[in-house]
Structure 1
Amino acid sequence: MPFWKPPVEWASLGLDPVALSVGPFDLRWYSLAYIAGILIGWWLLLRMVRLPGSPMAKRHVDDLVTWCTLGVILGGRLAYVLFYDPATYLADPLKVVQLWEGGMAFHGGLAGVILAIVLYCRAHALSVWRVLDYVAVVTPLGLFFGRLANFVNGELWGRLTDGSWGLIFPGAGPYPRHPSQLYEAALEGLVLLVLLNWLFWRTGARLKPGLLGGLFVLLYGVFRFGVEFFREPDVQLGTLSTGLTMGQTLSVPMILFGLWHLARVRHRAPATP
């Protein structure tokens, strides 16, 4: 008789979205994920700018972190409102500022960060492409922590699976689903982090304007597009008329831009170390 193991209930893992409660205030793991990504990314950027040929100084890093934080929050929230759930926010516009309720879109957060970097670099006469490269190297940290927080929250679960690694998530029905949050943490977070850091520290890629940033955009788009086949589409949108999910639709321009951009990078002269 074949061995059969019942699927694991997410609730049996003992995970709690709230990290700490103090009176009426709850400190959630999702908030800590943002804080951890920002602080560790800040620390890593400070180490990176010590190398010869850096496009910015320590004082620029300190200011840039603030600009990027505002960009990711404003861009991520605005994109979620516009692309994922416009009806809810049109019915109750005050919900737009209720960030503690959740609702952030990475594609919008990325656009917000890029805009913040462009504006900051122009104001301080810095190389936009090279600063984007440096920020791209640390960005996977936020993705890694954010997707782990999604898993701890028991949200953004995957599609149905008969694999032994499937989990039964609260609110997702009685059948096991892909832990797609962990797939994204591994690919968009860990794999990108290791690859970009290896290229930065072990090769001359950091001196080629636009190379690391282009790789980030391309590979994130590819990874996100692929994982969407295992992730349950957003309930308010489902699968679009094109047969793609919203996440895949927003990833296609990233893939195309990444390919186009990397084709142009080889014609740029390297920076002087």
Structure 2
Amino acid sequence: MAKNNVNPPKFAAWLIARFTPKHHQNALLGDLYEEYSLLQTQNPSVANCWFWHQTYLSGQTAFHRLVTNANVIKGIIFSIGLSIFTIIALLVMWLSSMDNVDGFSDGFWHSLLNGNVHLALLEGAFWSGTPEYVMKSVDDGIWSFIKLFIDVPAVMMATAPLFAIRYLSKTASVRLLCIASLLMVCVPYLYGMYLLSNHDYAATQTGPVLACMLLNVFYLVLPSCYFIAKRLRVERSKVW
């Protein structure tokens, strides 16, 4: 690295060093220090502004490198998928053990019958009761617990989208695969909301529709993440 009597702002230089890959640091900082030294002799204020601008550009490049890194994107995708999977599991266990909606906001029961089961996530009563209904589901026995997540209509509805996602993972671009997977995961849920909000179902008929809505997402979200990650390995050099 070039040695100069006048050094640029220390914090800016530290940021550039953090933003720059190690094998480029010496060469890049050496060039920046040399240019900064020349500008400093002409106008110190301009030199400092220029160096901070170079810091901004280095940070912008580092951020772009981060958000287009296949491994980072795969980690984000799996984190989101696992979070959705866990939330859906909690909703299924809650619905299976729900006796009433005491403690929930006024009108929540009506919203639930209209298919807005996701609104439970905004209710403090849902989260405060999590340990109770999780333990209740587990205490009923392993087979009873497994049966909570088995629904024949939902399995049948999820089969075709699963094969479609698998096919697209081999033929489509990552972008198209992500869009198609998102649609296939979300459409059954949205369609269930449409049915419940536009038809006057009895409470006993609402349960199976809600189960199908939730379990379709439950079945598809993690396989979708897996196939997207698999496709990312193929297109590792250029994600988007």
TM over 0.5: no
Q: Larger RCO: Structure 1 or Structure 2 (Cα < 8 Å, ≥ 6 residues apart)? A: 2
**Structure with the bigger percentage of helix:** 2
